[in-house]
Amino acid sequence: MANGFNVAVAGATGAVGVEMVKTLEKRNFPVKNLKLLASARSAGKTMKFKGEDVVIEEMTHDSFKGVDIALFSAGGDISREYRPFVVESGAVMIDNSSAFRMDDDVPLVVPEVNAEDIKLHKGVIANPNCTTAIMLVAVAPLHRAKGLRRIVAATYQAASGAGAKGMHELIVQAREVLDGKAVNPVAFAHQIAFNLIPHIDAFKENGYTKEELKMLNESRKMLHLPELLVSCTCVRIPVLRAHSEALNLEFENDITPEEARAIIEAAPGVQLVDDPADKRYPMPLDATEKYDVLCGRIRQDISRNDKRGLDIFVSGDQVLKGAALNAVQIAELL
């Protein structure tokens, strides 16, 4: 494939799909031919790629003939339906949905965390949950140095987690509230403007949400740590597109904030933003449209009587590192 790869983007018109196309262009991915796939509703419209108009096609079971890499971001049901057709055509499916993430025969990959797992794929590679991906880019290098045991996480998740309609709802609602008008929540369970909602995805019997349990299960799989302990509270806040997380970390070995800063500074995909005296710390506004996850507020956990605890704060672009960028990075490694 001297001339590059034939790439398909399934769900090209969604918030993540649009960023996948932009990221392929910005990172100069060797695309021989780009196929943009969506529902019949969007077929015939065009999207720009490297200055040229690409016509969006309706996705069918035959769409993947001759395709090398298929980036999927059209929801779990679509991924499940199309998987056999993609694999049969010989393409590799990089799937952003949660459909196959915990399947034994599907590697779940963040390149900075477990790139080596990619080679185990049997036609499908899964992109992790956005909140997990953002967390692990910062936590994995600390784990490699000091051995991670436990995470207590509280998240500050952006409206973009509910797609373009989530961002739209926050913007429309904020103006309605400012104008004293009634609001009508659709994308979220309650009003999100000037409010928060401690509820993302469905609740399970143990009181955690599926989103919160993904932080546990996907972290265990990607870090190859079946005993890792994680408790998480996932909260939607009125921010547009970057997720933040307050992380309380426990390690096997002692770790100082100075060591942690040096590790983060040397790690790929994460940028140290930790100068409180200069009012510099991770914020979603600064993380937006950045490839790197921002990491700061690093301090020795004072709620322990040893040096094995660390508190950190991270912000990362949910649409990029949380989804589109990560998928393209996986494609780059193929």
Binding-site entries for substrate = 157, 236
| Least separation in angstroms between CB 316 and a second copy | 13
Stretch that binds a second copy, among 64-72, 104-112, 124-132, 274-282 (CB under 8 A): 274-282
What are the structure tokens assigned to 134, written together? 């953002």
Residue 23: φ, ψ to 5°: -70, -40
d(Cα 308, Cα 11) in Å, to the nearest integer?
44
Separation of CA 299 from chain center:
25
In the region spanning residues 62 to 91, those forming contacts with a second copy, defined by CB under 8 A, are none
194 binds a second copy (CB under 8 A): yes
- Report residue 6: phi and psi, to 5°: -85, 115
Residue 162 sits in the site that holds a second copy (CB under 8 A): no
Name the binding residues for NADP(+): 13-16, 41-42, 160-161, 318
Angle at which helices 130-146 and 210-223 cross, to 10°: 40
Phi, psi of 183 (to 5 degrees): -110, 155
Which residue stretch of 66-74, 89-97, 123-131, 172-180 sits at the interface with a second copy (rule: CB under 8 A)?
A: 172-180
Question: Counting contacts by CB under 8 A, is residue 102 touching a second copy?
Answer: no
Binding site: residue ranges?
13-16, 41-42, 101, 157, 160-161, 236, 318
Catalytic residue among 121, 232, 243, 295: 243
Task: Examine residue 122 and tell whether it contacts a second copy (CB under 8 A).
Answer: no
Contact between 241 and 147 under an 8 Å Cβ cutoff? The reply is: no
Q: Counting contacts by CB under 8 A, is residue 43 touching a second copy?
A: no
Of the candidate residues 171, 210, 225, 291, the single one contacting a second copy (CB under 8 A): 171
Q: Does 154 bind a second copy (CB under 8 A)?
A: yes
Binding site residues, a second copy, CB under 8 A: 150-152, 154, 156, 170-171, 174-175, 178, 189-191, 194-199, 203, 206-208, 216, 229-231, 233, 235, 237-240, 244, 246, 248, 257, 276-277, 279, 281-285, 296-305, 309, 311, 313
Residues identified as active-site? 130, 243
